[in-house]
Homo-oligomer: A and B are copies of this chain.
């Protein structure tokens, strides 16, 4: 019984680990070129932290950048280019003042995430996304992929950071 129980636990954990580390579904719009990622990689909200970001001005966002296991390993080892299977997620929120925190601090200093603005992904698959530097780009707003037209600027912009394999975000220690 004990062994069966352990096996069951092991199987459950393995299933969890596999679900956690399974490369995301790489569904894309096959009718268009370049290809974009149109399915949200499962489990991304459980991924580990790469870094944080704040975009002022028009974007006015605060964000967290998370990576799947392949991404975290590559970041920590500092190896470039990122291997196939790397997925980087950028969770963006409005950059809003916290009245609640500021009241306690006695001054206007604290900004927290407001409502989510979008979630963006970069999925590395050097064959599938060869036309865009090996990366598939994705933007989801309210769980839905952004219009393909709005995605055209992803690659040319990211392509300006070739020294880091098209990735802007550095690892925060």
Contact = CB atoms under 8 A, between A and B. Distances in A.
Interface of A: 3, 6-7, 9-10, 13-14, 17, 45-49, 51-59, 62-64, 66, 91, 93, 95, 100-101, 104-105, 107-113, 116, 157, 160-161, 168-170, 172-173
A62 B66 contact: no
A15 B147 CA distance: 45
Contacts of A46: 48
A58 B108 CA distance: 11
A109 B62 contact: no
B13 A6 contact: no
B57 A109 contact: yes
Contacts of A56: 108-111
